[in-house]
Chain A
Amino acid sequence: MPIQVRIPAAISKGSHGSTTVEMKAANLSELLTALESMYPGVRKTICDDAGKLNRFINVFVNDEDIRFLGGEKCQFQDGDEVLLIPSIAGG
């Protein structure tokens, strides 16, 4: 299930903004596993002790907050664009 994932500089540690990579993942859990293999240690940063994505990270699938799409139950489709963003902004 190839999807496009945009990863913020805060995770990729890139100095020139975000990075977009193609990954194979059918859901959030598989996405986190794929991310961990690409950026070892990242799971510990963005997930809590129970392995759930922590509250500082928002995930959007085709511009929709994944929590409106069933969260962990959301099934990605071929070509979906997934966006990871630290939820620190606004107000």
Chain B
Amino acid sequence: MSLVTGLRCRECGKMYPVSPRVVCDCLAPLEAAYDVDGWRKALSREVIARRAPTLWRYREMLPLDHEPVTSLNVGFTPLVKAQRLAAALGCKSLWIKNDAVNCPTLSFKDRVVAVAINKAKEFGMETIACASTGNLANAVAAHAAAAGLEAYVFIPDDLEEAKIYGSAVYGAHLVRIRGNYDAVNRLCTQIAGEYGWGFVNVNLRAFYCEGSKTLGFEVAEQLGWRIPPVVVVPIASGSLITRIGKAFSELAEAGLLEPTPFKLIGAQATGCSPISVAVKQGGTAIEPQRPSTIARSLAIGNPADGYYAAKAILDSGGTAGDVSDEEIREGMKLLAETEGIFGETAAGVTIAVARKLLREGKMNPDEETVLCVTGNGLKTLDALVGHLDIGVTIRPRLEEFEAQVLRTAGSPAIAAN
């Protein structure tokens, strides 16, 4: 079934055979190249519609040489029409792509790991590993357990408890690094170079990143095979937003939809905003930052795909924005209170940036917009501790209920008495 023709350098275009290769001879990153005519022959809307509702319904557009053998029930998460949130933000037509309920680990990272782990199987690897801000660690640990592979996950030592235990429970080996994600990533690049392990986001990255495209494929299919005019995407390494743009372009190349214009909007926390800063200055040169934000899943100060993300945003005619920790919490609450969706801090970033850019007139409220929610709020509860009204505690007595609950709430039930 393979429609992968090799790995192509993203800078000089040099081609390499499919292998767990880290970089081109020119040291630039590699990406999967495909037989585009093969897509046109193999795929149609009808063929895809007959397949199971998982990300594998687009398997010809993913870099596997064989049918997937593990991580089979991932993706095809809901695209929710968000009318109450649209009203709150003052815009006309809004959708939430809800990867907070992706399977099995409740974030979009299930997509990339599903592809990487099948590729690791094809390469005959027995151990997989990752550098992670948390969600990826959860996904690698879970998918490896289900596939019967050993997993090593390398994480910053100050991660949210839910993300630490949510990796350890699967029997993965945890290595907690004293340092931020960029330090973890540096160490993992060295380990991959020295020991040849299958690091999903180092030497399997060319394959792994392609999994992110499926979020874009699904949005387009769920909209009735069309590209949304605007997509707001949270940014950490910059890989997801780049691949969503690539997904829309590839669907058009495959003849599955009309190539209509779309704007990519990048969302970051102000405490870690290297890509947002570059885009707001109209450039692609990324200055690294030392992250300090509650949105720890986005806390990458030296993003590997920073240049490509900034370029994709600017080329699309889009923009980027960044928001404070307080605005992030407000974004999480607004999403939960209007749509009943509990996204993690990164979702708060997405909602708050959309709200900010709409207020500033940098997003058009009349344009149909998709907001990407990429992780689940239950994993980042600590960001909300002390910031929510968690109600009163009373003794189990009717008078206390009336005095402390009904009266405080100004209930008409009490007024009638």
Contact = CB atoms under 8 A, between A and B. Distances in A.
A70 to B, nearest CB: 13
A90 B185 contact: yes
B296 to A, nearest CB: 14
B287 A9 contact: no
Contact of A65 (B25, B182, B193, B303): B182
Most chain B beta carbons < 10 A, residue from A11, A58, A85, A88 = A88
Given A55-B307, A56-B29, A67-B287, A90 B194 contact: no
A87 interface: yes
A89 B131 contact: yes
Contacts of B194: 17-18
Contacts of B302: 58, 65, 87
Interface stretch (B84-92, B199-207, B383-391, B400-408): B199-207
A84 B381 CA distance: 38
B307 A91 contact: no
A91 B23 contact: no
A60 to B, nearest CB: 7
A89 B183 contact: no
A20 to B, nearest CB: 11
Contacts of B307: 55
Nearest to B202: A89
B288 A86 contact: no
A7 to B, nearest CB: 11
Contact of B304 (A10, A11, A91): A91
A54 B288 CA distance: 14
Given A10-B22, A17-B194, A56-B28, A88 B288 contact: no
B149 interface: no
Contacts of A18: 190, 193-194
Contacts, number: 90
Interface stretch (B232-240, B331-339, B362-370): B232-240
Most chain A beta carbons < 10 A, residue from B23, B27, B192, B290 = B27
B186 interface: yes
Size bracket, chain B contacts: 35 or more
Contacts of A11: 27
B237 A90 contact: yes
A57 interface: yes
A18 to B, nearest CB: 6
Interface string A47-61: 000000011111010
B304 A65 contact: no
Contacts of A54: 27
A88 B193 contact: no
Nearest to B185: A90
Given A17-B193, A45-B26, A90 B131 contact: yes
6 contacts: A56-B28, A67-B288, A83-B186, A89-B189, A89-B199, A91-B303
Interface of B: 11, 22-23, 25-29, 131, 181-183, 185-186, 188-190, 192-195, 199, 201-202, 205, 236-240, 285-288, 290, 300, 302-305, 307
Given A56-B29, A88-B28, 20 more contacts: A10-B23, A17-B193, A18-B190, A45-B25, A45-B27, A57-B27, A58-B186, A63-B183, A83-B186, A83-B190, A85-B186, A86-B22, A88-B189, A88-B202, A89-B199, A89-B205, A90-B131, A90-B185, A91-B201, A91-B236
